[in-house]
Structure 1
Amino acid sequence: MRYEMLPGFANVYLEDSWVLGIRSRPGVLEFDLELVLTEEHPLFRPPNSDEQYCYRNARLLFQGVTDLRWGNQDASRPAIDANGSIDFGSIDCLEPHDGMYVVVGDFGRIQVSADPPVIDYTCRW
């Protein structure tokens, strides 16, 4: 199963979204994102003239975390854009495997056992 089959993920494109931050604490793993929305998404708006996609600030949230393994963390040094903003690249892969999820990107490889992930669009930063 690919991430697009998860509830709430059908009309987003993680591969061109930007990871702005990653946080973990007991029971929770969060990714702050500039998330790409496809035209079918209810929050879609035409991209700004200087953007390729419709971006929306969002949080990818794993709750009920019982196990978290983050490999290749030395790859997780953020890039600093010309305007001074920081990002950790994109999410190249989010694969569900029976209550466990593998998230791979420039930030490394995270294996997390948790409830199904959700996307929170109410965050502001």
Structure 2
Amino acid sequence: MNYHEIPELSNFYLEDSYVLAIDEGASSLKFKLEAVLSENHPRYEKPITSEQYCYRKISLCFLNADSFVWTNRNFIAFSDSSGETDYGNIDSFSISDDGYTLSGDWGKVIINGKAIKIVIAD
């Protein structure tokens, strides 16, 4: 199953979304993203002139998880020409019977749990 087949994620393009922060709680993991919205997303707007995509700040939340297993952590920030920093993208998002495996420049994490919630910040 592709992450696009998850209803909550069907109108996002994570490979070109930027990871701004990762917050880990006892049973939750939250990725704060500058996310790419597809044209089918209800909050989609035509991109500004200097951008290729429509971006919105969101939180991608994994809730009530049994565990998080980090097989790699690499929180090294990248800076763009305007001085804004991020931790790269979500390059891989795979789905299993027990949960999800996500990876990118920031590391790799296995999430044992299925609950996902998207919160759009702006």
Partner of 1:72: 72
TM-score by length of 1: 0.91
After TM superposition, the structure 1 = structure 2 runs for residues 76-95 of structure 1, keeping only pairs within 5 Å, are 76-95=75-94
Gaps of 5+ in 1: none
Question: Number of residue pairs matched?
Answer: 122
TM-score by length of 2: 0.93
After TM superposition, the structure 1 = structure 2 runs for residues 11-50 of structure 1, keeping only pairs within 5 Å, are 11-50=11-50
Partner of 1:55: 55
- Which string of whole-angstrom CA distances, capped at 9 and with x for unpartnered residues, describes residues 40-62 of structure 1? 11110000001010001100000
RMSD: 1.2
Gaps of 5+ in 2: none
The 1-side partners of 2:76 and 2:69 are apart by 17
- Which string of whole-angstrom CA distances, capped at 9 and with x for unpartnered residues, describes residues 92-120 of structure 1? 11112113110111111110112332211
SS state at 1:46 partner: coil
Structure 1 letter corresponding to 2:100: Y
The 2-side partners of 1:118 and 1:16 are apart by 20
Partner of 1:105: 104
The 2-side partners of 1:119 and 1:95 are apart by 17
